[in-house]
Amino acid sequence: MEYFLTEEQIMIRDLARKIAQEEIAPRAAEYDEKEEYPWDVINLLKESEFMGIYLPAEYGGMGGGVLDLSIVVEELSKACGGVAVTFAANALGTFPIVLFGNEEQKQKYIPKIASGEYLAAFGLTESTAGSDASNIKTTARLEGDHYVLNGTKQWITNGGEASVYTVIAATRPDRGARGLTAFIVEKGTPGFEFGKKEMKLGIRCSSTRELVFQDCKVPVANRLGKEGQGFAVAMKTLDKARPGVAAQAIGIAQGALDHAVAFAMERKQFGQSITSFQAIQHKIAECATRIEASRALTYATARMIDAGSDNFSKESAMCKLLASDTAMYVATEAIQIYGGHGYMREYPVEKFFRDAKITQIYEGTNEIQRNVIALEVIRDAKKKK
């Protein structure tokens, strides 16, 4: 299907695909088994100038947008979801600075992120603040020219590896969502340490760690936006980042389907290839259709964001919801097409299955996405009355 990509975007896609097929896919099982951060791939992405592909040219980026980012994430995900999320999470940690940073903050951090010198991470989730993002317990107390942070963030992608963290903390705990504030915290800041590294079902080569703050002093100059604006920073960031999760899910689904079709063409039962059986054909057709629908919606949403729309919460939630449910569906059907082989670790589709599940959970569970979509639809209906 033609997605009307520019010549530059086609070049970006083809280069990302080459890296994925030649450098990542042959080692995907190894990355998964060892659970080691894929610095070799990150360094290769730096050399390819992909780290700044979505960042403004005036800060050292390539001047692309969410669609360019999504194209790369999708291609990487076809080979390994874990590698892809290390790349995508860098954007998640950077978007708050792009959206809410002042000029001094942008000049200080974005060029280093764009060049790959710095990796970024996003510190929102806590043990009591998952779907209820307003229930943050990490506090930030103003003392003169700095804030003192105390608390623990949980399940932070790129935790321990990133150099820069955008962190949401409560400056007015009594005010709930209106009492949250966003900060830029650098690795190595006294009082900022890393907790346990999580052992995960999927995306196992990505680093998922706790962020621990114990009387951590962060300069007032590192506050993002105004006090009390932290919840808005988090929500606007997630709205802009969710197409990247959708792209990851699409890549995982496409990778799983590609392997399943190739296997089905070779697999013989009752004296013929199993692709001759209508039951298998219907599975392939359903998977392919869901993938194309997910990709079309995701690309349309990314273009909407890049065009400067000021309200895309509904569309962002929709593409993340559809694509991640598609990834889980396709990965499940891919295993079914493989039969018993699909359950074995020597075949690739069981990894796609494990990697797919998290796309339904992080950056907002799909239950939360349905809430967002429904509220937007109801709000629009009320406006028409």
Calculate the CA dihedral of residues 154, 155, 156, 160 and round it to 10 degrees. Answer: 90
Please say if the pLDDT value at position 12 is more than 90.
yes
User: Which of 97, 115, 133 is at the close of a domain?
Assistant: 115
Please say if the pLDDT value at position 2 is more than 80.
no
Range of the domain at 176: 120-228
Same domain, 127 and 267: no
Burial of 131-141, coded b for 16+ CB within 10 Å and e otherwise, reads: eebbebebbbe
Domain assignment present for residue 17? The answer is yes
304: pLDDT confidence band, cut at 50, 70 and 90?
very high
Domain assignment present for residue 184? The answer is yes
- Main-chain phi, psi angles of 347, to 5 degrees: -105, 150
Least confident of 2-16, 60-74, 207-221, 355-369: 2-16
- SS3 of 227-294: the string is CCCHHHHHHHHHHHHHHHHHHHHHHHHHHHHHHHHHHHHHCEECCEEHHHCHHHHHHHHHHHHHHHHH
**213-238 per-position pLDDT tens digit:** 999 999 999 999 999 999 999 999 99
pLDDT mean over 295-310? 97
CB atoms within 10 A of CB 229: 18
Same domain, 217 and 252: no
User: Which of 211, 228, 245 is at the close of a domain?
Assistant: 228
Residue 385: its pLDDT value, please?
82
How much is the pTM?
0.97
Active site residues: 363
Same domain, 202 and 66: no
- Main-chain phi, psi angles of 255, to 5 degrees: -60, -45
Same domain, 98 and 204: no
User: Which of 61, 93, 115 is at the close of a domain?
Assistant: 115
d(CA 153, CA 185): 13
**21-46 per-position pLDDT tens digit:** 999 999 999 999 999 999 999 999 99
> Which residue's structure tokens are 């669609």?
67
Please say if the pLDDT value at position 289 is more than 90.
yes
**227-270 per-position pLDDT tens digit:** 999 999 999 999 999 999 999 999 999 999 999 999 999 999 99
Same domain, 81 and 148: no
Task: Please tell me the total count of domains within the chain.
Answer: 3
d(CA 262, CA 260): 5
Domain assignment present for residue 202? The answer is yes
For the chain, the maximum distance between any two Cα atoms, rounded to a whole number of angstroms, is 79
Same domain, 289 and 354: yes
Same domain, 238 and 376: yes
For the chain, what is the mean pLDDT? 97
